[in-house]
A and B are shown apart, each in its own frame.
Chain A
Amino acid sequence: MRKQSLLFFLFVLIGAQMAFAQEFTVKGTVLSDDGKEPLIGATVLQAGTTNGVITDYDGKYTIRVNGGSEVTLRFTYVGMKAQDHKVTAKTGVLNIRMQADSEVMEEVVVVAYGTRKKGTIAGSVSTVKADKLESVPAAGFDQALQGQTPGLTVLSSSGEPSQAATFQIRGTNSINSGTAPLFILDGVPISSADFNTISPSDIEPVSVLKDASSTSIYGARAANGVIVITTKRGRMAEKAKITVRTQLGFSQLAGTNWNLMNTAERIQYEKEIGLSAGQDYDKLSKTDVNWLKAVFNDKAPLQSYDLSISGANERTNYYISAGFYDQEGIAQNSTFGRYTVRTNIETKANNWLKVGTNSMLTYEEISQADEGSYTLYTPISASRFMLPYWNPYNADGSLASQNDGTWQGQGMNPIEWMDNNPYSNKKYKAFSMLFAEVTPMEGMTIRSQVAMDYSHTAAFTQSMPSYLPNNNIGMAGRNSNVGLNLTATNTANYRFMKDDIHSFNFMVGQEGVKYSAEGFYVQTRGQNNDALTDLSTGTRASSWGNSYTSYSYLSFFGRGEYNYDDRYYADFSLRTDGSSRFGRNGRWASFWSVGLMWNLRKEKFMNQYSSWLTNAQLTASTGTSGNSSIPNFEHMALVSSGLIYNGESGIAPVQLGNPDLGWEKLWTTNLGLRLGFYNRINVVGEVYHKNTSNMLMQVPISYAEGGYGFRWDNVGAMVNMGAELSVDVDVIRNKSFVWNVSMNASYNKNKITELYNGLDEFEMGGTNTKLVVGHSVGEFFMNRYAGVNPANGDALWYDKDGNITAEYKDEDKVMMGKNYIAPWQGGFGTSLTYKGFQLSAQFSWVADRWVINNDRFFEESNGLYSVYNQSKRLLYDRWKKPGDITDIPRHGVTPQFDSHLLEDASFMRLKNLMLSYSLGQKKLQKTKFLTNARVYVQGQNLFTFTGFSGLDPENTSNIYSAQYPASRQFSLGVELSF
């Protein structure tokens, strides 16, 4: 008995000791490599757990360790090599001196359905880091991506603050169906129209997935590449960090190419062409208005405020933020205001279940200026037509009005028109993703994620009754659209090692997406009170309608990854997708990919070069993906209603349908080489080949078939091939001074290899382009302008054989070899860091892009529009007498849409220039509460180098017409963390 009781005592004693051993404290100081400076905010983490702390202002830490008598503590700090130290209860104090990390920082790359360590993937993925996005003086992050990544073309066709840029990855893959990449926000597909609902400072990295190995797993809609956007989360073992960001600035026109006549020139011109009858030039010559300046604001304000709080304990990490962004566009009635709130939380419910959510609420108030069409009353367009001796303002600064006759110009005063026809939008967005992750056994995770993406836009438009052209009959219109996207994703992932050398990772999954949207609009007329102009004050409904649309996808997929000793990597994936956009005959399709990577640098025989060759990887991948970006119900033959005749409502067939429609397929092959030298120079080169087949195209059919003119079909094929190169060099790198230079460039060649029904060419009516097998999509097809006959001032053209003719004929059009889709694009930048100062410049460029400058058709009209303002060239350069050698014909020769309007819209832009200063650690220490303080000034779009004669060469279309030009922004920002 006693023995037993003794034993019992012993057992208890040992137990108590074990309990003591399981929890002990280690403390110490973390210092920089020279041992002089304490490191603030270094992370100390108990390996294999989420237990961690960060160092305080003196570099000191205290961590309570549990879970074993000997555990490993991992010390990490940005820019320093991580260190692992074994500690026991006896350790007590552990002081660490961190070593600067000369190796590539261990980065994580966000890939499809997960993240991977940089340098361990076969796929072609480029990442744009948060610091490029956080301080962008724009509503969306899209602008900040221009010129950052090879192969990704980001072009903005409008200076409207609320307008998203157009994205294209590695050329255009399709003629009529969508060419925009798939955008994934926190694992959920979203539309590019929603970019401005996400605060750029909430974004962590943006990954651009370009090849089959990285995109194929997204199968459906991945043919145009994938852009994965991840929002911030609290870092493990981080105490609450409060960050405040604010930015104030203003915008003005980026380009000022303006070649219209001033009053003196205009009067001279009118006299020369015989338009002077009845004009009082003495009076008119006293006014000289530059309408560009009258219409565009040169100090449109911009303000932005963000507050975020993030942190984590061993179970939960969180990131909570709120933001307000307000920007006025440089054009009238162009504003953007946004309020955002975000909560990202993850918590370990128990040791096998993790749950979390990323949720966002956004409210926006938007006004957009009219652009793109030629009118005499919308300001952007009208600024080109208004005569310099018409003043939109009276001497006292009030608006010159048609109502009281103070407006002396013809027709309407565009600025007054805008004031009397306001248009505004409100957008409400709620995006919430919820996930649960189960770890039933070591290495295995099962994740289920549901997301709801809701948006509501409401527009309100008015036309004021008191405005003279309305004759006391006002108008009000409202429309409302609600869209809901539901996404459910379930994945199971199993990762394991064998013999410490074979690493496997398998995933299977399923995904479902359902989108539906409905809306309606009503417009009423007859209002007679400006202040009360709304729907209910109208006397009758003048137009109304409703809309509904929906689509759904269902997908099943699997992926396997294998690596041998960090030397050989392989991955393969398979995915099957069904889309509601296709009939039962063509609904399902399967996509696959294989990716291989050889990490040459890890081979033993390479060790002899390790002094200078710090990275060498060879990658290859091939596989397929799909595209179904067509209208939602195209496969059905439909009859619709809403056709009114004599007060009765009728029905009529509205589309032919095509039950055999199916997926467009893209087969991509990619080869890449990644090299690093001396840890300072990193080079990535890639070449690719993409083959689009079964192309979804709006095929022209005879109008005799129901009057439609087009129907969707799977026809044709095209090829894109190209090469990309990016180089990043730390020219100088020492403790206090770093000079980094980076550049990227890409080239893409597009070729149509097949059209339809044996046809090998088709002219796209009204676009001046033609699809021809063997040529690229977007190649111009026009009559070639040959100048002016010096003898009589007539316009001349080349006929199709190259002979000069004075007759403009359809049959003389030729393929121009010039394209509106730029084959070349890229960017380059540099940054200089000296102690707390940083100066950086980022350029982006696009080369060999051509566009028709439609504005010049009006400005150089040779008499067709001579009562409106014209280019100075018509006064100075037009043909006036026999013998004149010029390219502008005599007055009276109608201009044609020929090659004289085709211009090179290549450009290089200083996208961003920024000077910033961050407070040093020592100074921060003195404040006792600040952990980071940064002040910066930046200029966006400061310089543009281009030969294009319009206001803005940046555009994605074949035609440049009355475009809202890009703006230049200057801003001052402050960023503080506590």
Chain B
Amino acid sequence: MNKKIKIYGVLLSLALSTVSCLDQDPRDAILADGAINSVQTANQAMVGIYSTFKSPALYSGYLTLLPDIQTDMVHAVQGYSNTYGAIWRWNDILSTNSEITSVYGALYTVIGRTNYFFQEVEKLESKIKDEDQLEQLQWYKGEAHFARALAYSELVKLFCKAYESDEQAANELGVVLVSKYPSNGGSLTRASMYDSYQFILNDLAKASEYLALDEDNNEVLYNSTYFTIGAVNALYARMYLYMSDWKNAVNYASKVIDSDKYLLSSASTNYTSTMTYYQYLWNYDSSTEIIWKVPFEVSSFGGALGRVFLNYDYSTYRPDYIPSQTALNKFDDADLRYYSFFARARTGYSHGLVADLLVKYKGNQNFIEQGILAVNMPKVFRLSEQYLIRAEASAQLKNYADAAKDITTLRKARYSSYGTSTALGESNWKEIVYDERMKELYMEGFRLHDLKRWKLGFTRSKQPQTIETANTLTVPAGDARFVWPIPLQELNSPGNNIQPNESNK
């Protein structure tokens, strides 16, 4: 009997011991509530936000490449893998497109992470008394505001029509504005385009306040991997240009240009024994004209921007896309950008096409040494864009002399030799400024929105060994697909009322 009692005892204790094990916790994650509980963890959360920008859906991939591939910049080659094929063919862009959905999702991931950051930091701030710590938190908040503004700026660029005026923008659809984590609650809907841009400007105003430097600050800002006041002003300028607010565009571009913190990289002056400053910019992702870049390490990097243009395997090149002749023809003979961007090679396809391939993103040399090909660090803000913004805005303000001056400055840094001025006036400014923008920012994700803003269409001209039908595509100005469709997921998400775009049909 004693034995039986013992056995029952064992059974009972077994039963009780198992009750407590219903609380299982992960070991590679912690509860979100209260995870930011010190300045150090706030910094870690900020690092988490920054790291989101490494995503191949963003600057090291789709966000940079798709808007240019979609237009007249490249042709798909016979034998290509159909990577981004639907985007390039234009007419196959659907609301179920996985790349577009990834871009949309990744941008909202940045926004979600910043909102979570704000929410948690607000709780933390009430507990901290130390002035230095509070100041540090404020700096992080400045970076977070900028991160959110940047993500929204890309959303409005891709998923909204061009901003023509405040009145027009008030009546057009913007994007879903969320400032809490996970969301504001209630039914989500798209704000007006006006409100969406204002939201970005508000974030920039906060970022500008928190990231401001003293007048006499002599810190090095170029080549930065973190958000700085320079980046804030650069995004301001970009936004005002997109809003057709020419005065402010000039004003903010000037703040960047005149800050003396950045310098265009010369394509004609040698930096090392074999490379000019400009070549160094593309070969080592390092330059005085970089305002903000996404840093990569060989052990941790994002997408490979150059892969689809080369697909090199140490024996042959099998590019998915080759530059269009239309784009190539725009480069002057003295334009050294041509030689940094393009190189002639025989492709490894059976048709053996010989063509100019895009080598702008052939890869950072330090990475190539390690056998990692076609990986470059995305340079999201460069000084040259600010010159182009100021030139375009000045010309819009009929200030052609200023515009000409900026174009001249830029070309001097890019050409083997260039005169002292550029002939630019009412009749030709568009051609000059628009083309310059295309050449300088080739395959950097600006083209689609630029054409949309400029109310231009485009035509692809047939090239040998390129994919039929879409290689002769003509898209009229104002085509619905200049605005990307809202991912189907959004339209389907229950309880919300997120409106489609015209390209959603």
Q: Known: A550-B24, A554-B21, A864-B82. Is A469-B32 also a contact (CB below 8 A)?
A: no
Closest to B85 in A: A864
With both chains docked as a complex, state the minimum distance between the C-beta of A769 and any C-beta of chain B, in angstroms. Answer: 12
A810 near B47 (CB under 8 angstroms)? no
With both chains docked as a complex, state the minimum distance between the C-beta of A956 and any C-beta of chain B, in angstroms. Answer: 22
With both chains docked as a complex, state the minimum distance between the C-beta of A215 and any C-beta of chain B, in angstroms. Answer: 22
Which residues of A sit under 8 angstroms from B490, Cβ to Cβ? 702-704
B494 near A700 (CB under 8 angstroms)? yes
Checking A525, A641, A648 against B28 with a beta-carbon cut-off of 8 angstroms, the contacting residue is A641
Q: Known: A488-B18, A514-B21. Is A894-B89 also a contact (CB below 8 A)?
A: yes
Question: Which segment, of B50-58, B200-208, B278-286, faces chain A?
Answer: B50-58
Q: Known: A410-B318, A540-B298. Is A867-B79 also a contact (CB below 8 A)?
A: yes
Q: Known: A387-B350, A552-B21, A868-B79. Is A765-B182 also a contact (CB below 8 A)?
A: no
Q: Known: A446-B7, A579-B22, A638-B32. Is A473-B370 also a contact (CB below 8 A)?
A: yes
B32 near A657 (CB under 8 angstroms)? yes
Question: Which segment, of A109-117, A240-248, A251-259, A272-280, faces chain B?
Answer: A272-280
Q: Mark A485-506, 1 if CB is under 8 A from B, else 0.
A: 0001010000000000000000
A646 near B295 (CB under 8 angstroms)? yes
Which residues of A sit under 8 angstroms from B349, Cβ to Cβ? 410, 867
Interface flag for A580 (CB, 8 Å): yes
Interface flag for B421 (CB, 8 Å): no
With both chains docked as a complex, state the minimum distance between the C-beta of B190 and any C-beta of chain A, in angstroms. Answer: 9
Which residues of B sit under 8 angstroms from A7, Cβ to Cβ? none
Q: Mark B309-324, 1 if CB is under 8 A from A, else 0.
A: 0000111101000000
B348 near A554 (CB under 8 angstroms)? no
Interface flag for B169 (CB, 8 Å): no
Q: How far is the CA of A194 from the CA of B467 in the complex (A)?
A: 48
B111 near A699 (CB under 8 angstroms)? no
A703 near B19 (CB under 8 angstroms)? no
With both chains docked as a complex, state the minimum distance between the C-beta of B181 and any C-beta of chain A, in angstroms. Answer: 6
Q: Known: A514-B18, A651-B41, A703-B487. Is A763-B113 also a contact (CB below 8 A)?
A: no
Interface size on A, residues (CB 8 A): 103
Which residues of A sit under 8 angstroms from B299, Cβ to Cβ? 540-543
- Most chain A beta-carbon contacts within 10 A, residue among B28, B181, B183: B28
Interface flag for A438 (CB, 8 Å): yes
Q: How far is the CA of A699 from the CA of B493 in the complex (A)?
A: 8
B32 near A653 (CB under 8 angstroms)? yes
Question: Which segment, of A122-130, A360-368, A629-637, A909-917, faces chain B?
Answer: A629-637
Q: Known: A490-B14, A758-B494, A865-B82. Is A704-B21 also a contact (CB below 8 A)?
A: no
Checking B28, B109, B348 against A707 with a beta-carbon cut-off of 8 angstroms, the contacting residue is B109
Interface residues of A in 845-904 (CB under 8 A from B): 863-868, 891-894, 896
Interface flag for B105 (CB, 8 Å): yes
A705 near B370 (CB under 8 angstroms)? no
Which residues of B sit under 8 angstroms from A633, Cβ to Cβ? 24-26, 29
Interface flag for A104 (CB, 8 Å): no
Q: How far is the CA of A250 from the CA of B164 in the complex (A)?
A: 72
B109 near A891 (CB under 8 angstroms)? no
Interface residues of B in 482-505 (CB under 8 A from A): 487-490, 492-496, 498, 504-505
Which residues of B sit under 8 angstroms from A540, Cβ to Cβ? 298-299, 370
Closest to A473 in B: B371
B22 near A580 (CB under 8 angstroms)? yes
B95 near A810 (CB under 8 angstroms)? yes
Q: Mark A542-571, 1 if CB is under 8 A from B, else 0.
A: 110011111111100000000000000000
Interface flag for A448 (CB, 8 Å): yes
Q: How far is the CA of A355 from the CA of B89 in the complex (A)?
A: 71
Checking A387, A448, A649 against B7 with a beta-carbon cut-off of 8 angstroms, the contacting residue is A448
Q: How far is the CA of A657 from the CA of B31 in the complex (A)?
A: 10
Q: How far is the CA of A847 from the CA of B25 in the complex (A)?
A: 44
Interface flag for A709 (CB, 8 Å): yes
Q: Mark B167-194, 1 if CB is under 8 A from A, else 0.
A: 0000000001010011100001000000
Which residues of B sit under 8 angstroms from A707, Cβ to Cβ? 105-113
- Most chain B beta-carbon contacts within 10 A, residue among A510, A638, A707: A707
Checking B15, B183, B295, B300 against A510 with a beta-carbon cut-off of 8 angstroms, the contacting residue is B15
B181 near A650 (CB under 8 angstroms)? no
With both chains docked as a complex, state the minimum distance between the C-beta of A239 and any C-beta of chain B, in angstroms. Answer: 33
Q: Known: A639-B31, A810-B96. Is A275-B350 also a contact (CB below 8 A)?
A: yes
B14 near A512 (CB under 8 angstroms)? yes
Which residues of A sit under 8 angstroms from B47, Cβ to Cβ? 643-646, 648-651
Interface flag for A774 (CB, 8 Å): no
Q: How far is the CA of A220 from the CA of B81 in the complex (A)?
A: 46
B505 near A810 (CB under 8 angstroms)? yes
Interface flag for B49 (CB, 8 Å): yes
With both chains docked as a complex, state the minimum distance between the C-beta of A277 and any C-beta of chain B, in angstroms. Answer: 6
Checking A469, A471, A651 against B45 with a beta-carbon cut-off of 8 angstroms, the contacting residue is A651
Interface flag for B476 (CB, 8 Å): no
Interface residues of A in 696-739 (CB under 8 A from B): 699-709
Which residues of A sit under 8 angstroms from B188, Cβ to Cβ? 702, 704-705
With both chains docked as a complex, state the minimum distance between the C-beta of B398 and any C-beta of chain A, in angstroms. Answer: 41
Interface flag for B23 (CB, 8 Å): yes
Interface flag for A759 (CB, 8 Å): yes
Closest to B33 in A: A637
Q: Known: A525-B371, A645-B47. Is A639-B351 also a contact (CB below 8 A)?
A: no
A652 near B45 (CB under 8 angstroms)? yes
With both chains docked as a complex, state the minimum distance between the C-beta of B47 and any C-beta of chain A, in angstroms. Answer: 3
Closest to B300 in A: A644
Interface flag for B92 (CB, 8 Å): yes
Interface flag for B269 (CB, 8 Å): no
Q: Mark B277-309, 1 if CB is under 8 A from A, else 0.
A: 000000000000000000101111000000000
With both chains docked as a complex, state the minimum distance between the C-beta of B72 and any C-beta of chain A, in angstroms. Answer: 19
Interface flag for A756 (CB, 8 Å): yes
Q: How far is the CA of A708 from the CA of B108 in the complex (A)?
A: 8
Interface flag for B209 (CB, 8 Å): no
Q: How far is the CA of A654 from the CA of B31 in the complex (A)?
A: 10
Q: How far is the CA of A278 from the CA of B467 in the complex (A)?
A: 18
Q: Mark A376-396, 1 if CB is under 8 A from B, else 0.
A: 100000000001000000000
Q: How far is the CA of A863 from the CA of B465 in the complex (A)?
A: 11
A653 near B22 (CB under 8 angstroms)? no
B22 near A552 (CB under 8 angstroms)? yes
Closest to A547 in B: B28
A645 near B44 (CB under 8 angstroms)? no
Which residues of A sit under 8 angstroms from B494, Cβ to Cβ? 699-701, 755-759
With both chains docked as a complex, state the minimum distance between the C-beta of B505 and any C-beta of chain A, in angstroms. Answer: 5
B24 near A580 (CB under 8 angstroms)? yes
Q: How far is the CA of A543 from the CA of B298 in the complex (A)?
A: 10
Interface flag for A67 (CB, 8 Å): no
20 new A-B contacts, CB < 8 A, other than A525-B371, A632-B24, are: A277-B465, A278-B352, A411-B318, A470-B314, A580-B23, A637-B31, A638-B31, A640-B30, A652-B49, A701-B494, A702-B176, A702-B489, A704-B490, A705-B112, A706-B116, A765-B487, A810-B96, A810-B504, A864-B467, A894-B469
Chain B interface residues (CB < 8 Å from chain A): 4, 7, 10-11, 14-15, 18-19, 21-33, 35, 41, 44-52, 54, 78-79, 81-82, 85, 89, 91-92, 94-96, 98, 101, 104-113, 115-116, 176, 178, 181-183, 188, 225-226, 295, 297-300, 313-316, 318, 348-352, 370-371, 465, 467-470, 487-490, 492-496, 498, 504-505
Q: Mind listing 18 A-B residue pairs with CB under 8 Å?
A: A278-B350, A411-B316, A412-B313, A471-B314, A579-B22, A633-B29, A636-B25, A641-B44, A649-B47, A653-B181, A704-B498, A757-B495, A758-B494, A759-B492, A763-B488, A765-B488, A867-B349, A891-B468
Chain A interface residues (CB < 8 Å from chain B): 275, 277-279, 376, 387, 402, 410-412, 436, 438, 440, 446, 448, 468-471, 473, 488, 490, 510, 512, 514, 518, 525-526, 540-543, 546-554, 578-580, 587, 632-633, 636-654, 656-657, 699-709, 755-759, 762-763, 765-766, 808-811, 863-868, 891-894, 896
Closest 6 CB pairs of A and B: A650-B47, A707-B109, A512-B18, A652-B48, A706-B112, A892-B468
